[in-house]
Chains A and B, each alone.
Chain A
Amino acid sequence: MMGWIDQNEFLIGSTLTVFLLAISIQIPLRLGVISFASIGYYAIGGYGTAILMTQYDVSTWTSVVVASVAAAVVATLLGLIISRLNGLYLAMATVSFSLLLSAIAVNGGSVTGGAVGLFGVIGDITIWHTAGIAVVIIFLVSFTERGKLSRRIDATREDSQLASAMGINVTAYRRLSFPISGLIGGLAGALAVNLKTAINPESVNFTLVVLALTIIIIGGQASWIGALAGSLFFVWLPEILVFVGEWEEVVYGTLVVFAAVLVPGGVVGVFNDWRHRRSVARERPKVALLEAAAGESDAELTQSRSGKDG
């Protein structure tokens, strides 16, 4: 087991950082906000860590924390600036935010290393640290997927007007999703740059947006399990099937199209639907009995009423 982990350390690390990035996109998405800004947060986290570590000799963990918090701060500001927008307009604004950042990375001169990027980022983060962080995030995210809070989040996404009529502060929820998404996205970038020891503008462009979105769509939008399933699938499939590695984009593109047309809820959504149907099937006889009983008492009631009348 330990040997296997050592052998596949890079793949496991990639799975975890991609998973964190997917969570960062998923959090606003669950509130009905289509935001591509997570790529920008990822870039801030990654570049921030790389700049602090290679140019200012800051210790690994301080760099990671500072860069992630910086991403969260930028995310908060972005959330305030674009709070007027919604739907596709917001999606566009966040795409342009992310791509502006990658243009800055290209033109940043010696600070960002231009088109070549920064390399030689060697810190002391092991696979266990990354796994630990992922578990903590899963633990925190799972709180938002149960009970009252989960229902409020679902209501905000499905019908924001109805949700605010029910007394849910939709704006506050949506605004709050930005710093959280920013922190997790920044963390994903910071951990990824430590894993890969390098970062360049190519690695934070539109392709990454597409990959992260694809992961969520294949896995499922509603739960962290979906994001994890998607990340596992996307990082490991090209390793296991060489054919998939060769035709990676075609396979992914086709899968995404199929998912969008046929199973909007993703793999996890299909599983949940199946579980829901099964429980309905199990409950149906009981419901039928109850209904029959209710029907009888109704009949008695009308009889006794008509008896009184007559």
Chain B
Amino acid sequence: MVQDLLNATTLASIYVLFALGMSLVWGTIGILNFAHGSIFMFSAFIAYLVVQQIPLGMPAVIAIAMVSGALIAVAMQYLVFQPIMKKAKNPHAGELQLVIGGIGLSAIPISFAQRSTLSNPFGFSAGTFETQAYTIGGVIITNVMIIILIVGLGLGVGTALWIRNSKKGLALRALGVDPEVSAMMGIDRPKLALATMLYSGALAGLAGALLTYYFNSITSESGDTLLLKAFAIIILGGVGSIFGVILGSFILAFAEFAVLLYTNGSWVTAVSFGLLFLILLIRPQGILGKKEVRRT
């Protein structure tokens, strides 16, 4: 029982790392990034390619994945999302173009990875890092799990507090509420948008590397599965709420573990869609979200 709770908490921490960047980008600069899952997968893939050549330890692998993720995200923002937003006649038309651009973008790295791995799983087994398991009072915990728990929860809470209390955080929140007025107040939207995408890409890379260490390997399609789960997490917690992301991640991870315990495994994928659909029907603004007020 305690073991299950610990495993679920570790999974929740991975979800936090993945969904955090996506929620931040959606809630502040208004981009629902459908390519977030492929950034996650491809940065782990780049780290895998490097490890195949040079056997590296965990810090180096994570650093490579984070830098790759950040670079990919910034390139996407600079080459695709920013031009779309600049061109859009109204926010609504831009919304659809952004979704479509993201869907198109996500197909490219995924099929590259699929072709070069022949759709086989890949991992960092060529690196120097060794997983070690400790048994404390009958509960097994590995060093990877400890790292995931500390990094996931630490970054989740840290980002939430930063957004809530810092001046830059205030600027980001203002962008989420009203981009035009915040531009008049002197907020440099393109610059902040680029910085937010950079942070979100680095988080995706971090999540990709840690998940690969945790499961020993991932596949080219892992990003897509997580993307759909992240939608559920973000909507559950409420768009724009960082504490909501943490809450949503825990709800989803524990619900999935409960389903895994009481049914056979094949219903697990349905949990996130079911939760997403339910919360949209009952409380579309999410558990911690505020109701959007629009004046026109």
Asked whether B281 is an interface residue with its Cβ less than 8 Å from the other chain, the reply is yes
What's the minimum C-beta distance from B217 to chain A, rounded to whole angstroms?
A: 21
Q: Which of A84-92, A189-197, A226-234 contacts B (4 or more CB under 8 A)?
A: A84-92
Asked whether B141 is an interface residue with its Cβ less than 8 Å from the other chain, the reply is no
Query: In the complex the two chains form, what is the Cα distance from A96 to B234 in whole Å?
Result: 14
- Are A253 and B284 closer than 8 Å at their CB atoms? no
What's the minimum C-beta distance from A209 to chain B, rounded to whole angstroms?
A: 8
What's the minimum C-beta distance from B266 to chain A, rounded to whole angstroms?
A: 5
Q: Which of B61-69, B172-180, B267-275 contacts A (4 or more CB under 8 A)?
A: B267-275
Asked whether A119 is an interface residue with its Cβ less than 8 Å from the other chain, the reply is no
- Are A82 and B280 closer than 8 Å at their CB atoms? yes
Q: Which residues of the other chain, B, contact A210 by a CB distance below 8 angstroms?
A: 103, 107
B residues 167-194 touching A (CB-CB < 8 Å): none
Q: Which of A55-63, A145-153, A254-262, A281-289 contacts B (4 or more CB under 8 A)?
A: A254-262
What's the minimum C-beta distance from A253 to chain B, rounded to whole angstroms?
A: 3
Number of A-B contacts (CB under 8 A): 124
- Are B228 and A256 closer than 8 Å at their CB atoms? no
| Number of residues on chain B facing chain A (CB within 8 A) | 44
Query: In the complex the two chains form, what is the Cα distance from A106 to B269 in whole Å?
Result: 10
- Are B111 and A96 closer than 8 Å at their CB atoms? no
Against A, the Cβ 8 Å flags (1 = close, 0 = not) of B261-296 are 000001101101110110011001000000000001
16 further A-B contacts with Cβ under 8 Å, apart from A85-B280, A96-B276, are A32-B92, A84-B284, A87-B92, A93-B277, A96-B277, A96-B280, A100-B274, A103-B273, A159-B90, A210-B107, A250-B107, A252-B107, A253-B105, A256-B104, A257-B104, A257-B105
Asked whether B22 is an interface residue with its Cβ less than 8 Å from the other chain, the reply is no
Interface residues on A, range: 35 or more
A residues 216-264 touching B (CB-CB < 8 Å): 217, 247-250, 252-257, 259-261, 264
A residues 142-199 touching B (CB-CB < 8 Å): 159, 161
Q: Which residues of the other chain, A, contact B97 by a CB distance below 8 angstroms?
A: 260-261, 264
Query: In the complex the two chains form, what is the Cα distance from A300 to B235 in whole Å?
Result: 66
Q: Which of B80-88, B119-127, B146-154, B206-214 contacts A (4 or more CB under 8 A)?
A: B80-88
What's the minimum C-beta distance from A287 to chain B, rounded to whole angstroms?
A: 25
B residues 40-90 touching A (CB-CB < 8 Å): 79-80, 83-84, 87, 90
- Are B269 and A255 closer than 8 Å at their CB atoms? no
What's the minimum C-beta distance from A178 to chain B, rounded to whole angstroms?
A: 16
CB-nearest residue of chain A relative to B235?
A92
CB-nearest residue of chain A relative to B114?
A249
Against B, the Cβ 8 Å flags (1 = close, 0 = not) of A24-65 are 000001001010000000000000000000000000000000
- A107 touching B267 in the complex, CB below 8 Å, given contacts A213-B100, A260-B97, A260-B100: yes
- Are B99 and A257 closer than 8 Å at their CB atoms? no
A residues 67-113 touching B (CB-CB < 8 Å): 81-82, 84-85, 87-89, 91-93, 95-97, 99-100, 103-104, 106-107
Q: Which residues of the other chain, A, contact B235 by a CB distance below 8 angstroms?
A: 89, 92
